[in-house]
Amino acid sequence: MADLYKQIHEYFNSLERYSFPYDKKELERITDKNGLYILFENGEKYEKYDRIVRIGSHDSDDRLIKRLRDHFLSSRQRKSIFRKHIGRCFLNSKNDDYLNAWDKPFNKTADKEKHKEIVDLKYEQQYEELITTHIRTKLSFVVIPKVYEKLDRDRIEEGLIASLAQSDLKISSSNWLGNEHPKIKIRQSKIWNIKFLNGNPLTEIEFINLIINKYGG
């Protein structure tokens, strides 16, 4: 199977780029609230291209903009797995033993009761602020718009993640924050994804027909 790492970077680097503060109404118009986002991170390069560091989608219909909001506008890591990953890196880099509590669920009433002795939301705020600053100042993104069919969203998400993670060309800078992640999967894959790392990469035909022709026009 062809290694599409370069083609993927070349294509998505050619699309219109968004960064914080982005225009929510404009994104809603362009995407109709459905599709995928592809994240880039300042300082991360592959050859002459900005390097892709995360692929994201949404399970329920009409939630693409809400997923972006959870990353860029929320101040709660338990609403965003991406924020959780970044926080893990900050905690791990400081050898902060609060890392165990950081990973505990704390949204549902039962979880709050179970973990109330170890979860300290006030203490977490210092890390939430670091995460917000990192995301808003270092991340930018492009979108694959109007992907209404969940099967297509899932296939594109899996295919892109697997193609990047399994490529022999994958690379990160020595300063990439993800290198501080406690999970080796993030450090080795060079992207902020866990799901689909071992999935089925896109074929060249899928990349052209599904992403470029069907949703790129």
Amino acid in position 70: D
**What token pair was written down for 130?**
């670091």
Q: Would you list the domain boundaries of the chain?
A: 5-215
Confidence of residue 217 (pLDDT cuts 50, 70, 90): low
- Cβ burial of 173 (10 Å; 0-12, 13-18, 19+) is middle
- Label residue 110 left, alpha or beta by phi (over 0 means left) and psi (-120 to 50 means alpha): alpha
**What local confidence, expressed as pLDDT, does residue 97 receive?**
95
Candidate from 29-33, 63-67, 76-80, 99-103 with smallest mean pLDDT: 76-80
pTM: 0.95
- Cβ burial of 154 (10 Å; 0-12, 13-18, 19+) is middle
**What token pair was written down for 102?**
């950081």
Instruction: Tell whether omega for the bond before 145 is within 30 degrees of 0, i.e. cis.
Output: no
The model's pLDDT over 116-134, given as tens digits with 9 standing for 90+, comes to 999 999 999 999 999 999 9
Among all chains, which residue has been given the structure tokens 């990192």? 134
pLDDT surpassing 70 at residue 35: yes
Rg (Cα) of the chain, in Å, rounded? 17
The model's pLDDT over 58-71, given as tens digits with 9 standing for 90+, comes to 999 999 999 999 99
Amino acid in position 43: G
Sign of CA dihedral 8, 9, 11, 12: positive
DSSP-assigned states of every residue in 68-112: HHHHHT---GGG-HHHHHHHHHHHHHTT-TTHHHHTS--SSHHHH
- The string over 123-141, giving b where at least 16 C-beta atoms fall within 10 Å of a residue's C-beta and e elsewhere, is ebeebbeebbebbeebbeb
The model's pLDDT over 1-23, given as tens digits with 9 standing for 90+, comes to 789 999 999 999 999 999 999 99
